[in-house]
Amino acid sequence: MQLPRYFDLTGQSALVTGGGTHLGRAMATALGELGAHVHIAGRRLDVCEGTAASMRDAGLDAHAHCVDITADGEIDAAIDAIASRHGRFDILVANAGGSFTRSYMPDASIEEFRRTLDLNVTGLFRSAQAASRHMIRARRGKIITIGSIHGQLTADLRLYEGLEFWRSGPPYHAAKGAVVNLTRSLAAELGRHNIQVNCISPGQIPQATSDPEFVERCRVNNPLQRTGQADDLKGAVALLASPASDWITGHNLLVDGGWSIW
């Protein structure tokens, strides 16, 4: 097989949870550019539909779904519908996640901790289970989880000194650490069915609402001396969703501009 064909996803069906904004939007676009039928899921249908419409305007095949991965049965129904529509289900990018942290030690909220684990870990587990049922029958599939540099490194609190905004904390760091090891466990469970499970762990990739001073502190402390962009994940998702990664499983790919080498 010639190298370009290793990255060809023509005819494959893919679901990106949390695909309506930021990192999810970039990864969904990448899959569409490689020829996949892309389905974007999130709790805000209008946001998902807006992203899908932009992708269709660019000539890509994209569809929107309203899905809460923490609710019983919703992710199962969405994946079943995608498989029925295309006759196959090939790629899951389990991107939905986030932080609810508004309180810190020693007064941290147990409810915030539980909600963070439910979204990032239990939601991922639900999504992977629903996807794997179809992939096992087909004896092929790619599951991509989304971790964070905080899955292996905690936050350097010095970066936040003097800034007034909510930062992620122990609940999010614990959840993303669980995502990384859950990825390895899923890879072990599903490998015999020819399903590859890998994790992408992004570094600091700011949004428009991010504090400018914090963004600059991250930039100057990064080995590459630049700010991460959502499109920096497009190559990583292309690799892990395509036949180019058929011999890669259980891996945690850090896409952080070298932040974790210090």
Phi and psi at 166, nearest 5°, equal -75, 130
Name the catalytic one among 6, 104, 160, 172: 172
Contact 65, 18 (CB under 8 A): no
172 is catalytic: yes
Tell the residue number behind the tokens 């990664």, with chain if given: 245
Contacts of residue 135, defined as CB under 8 A and 6 or more positions apart, other chains included, come to: 89, 90, 141, 143, 190, 193, 195
List active site positions: 172
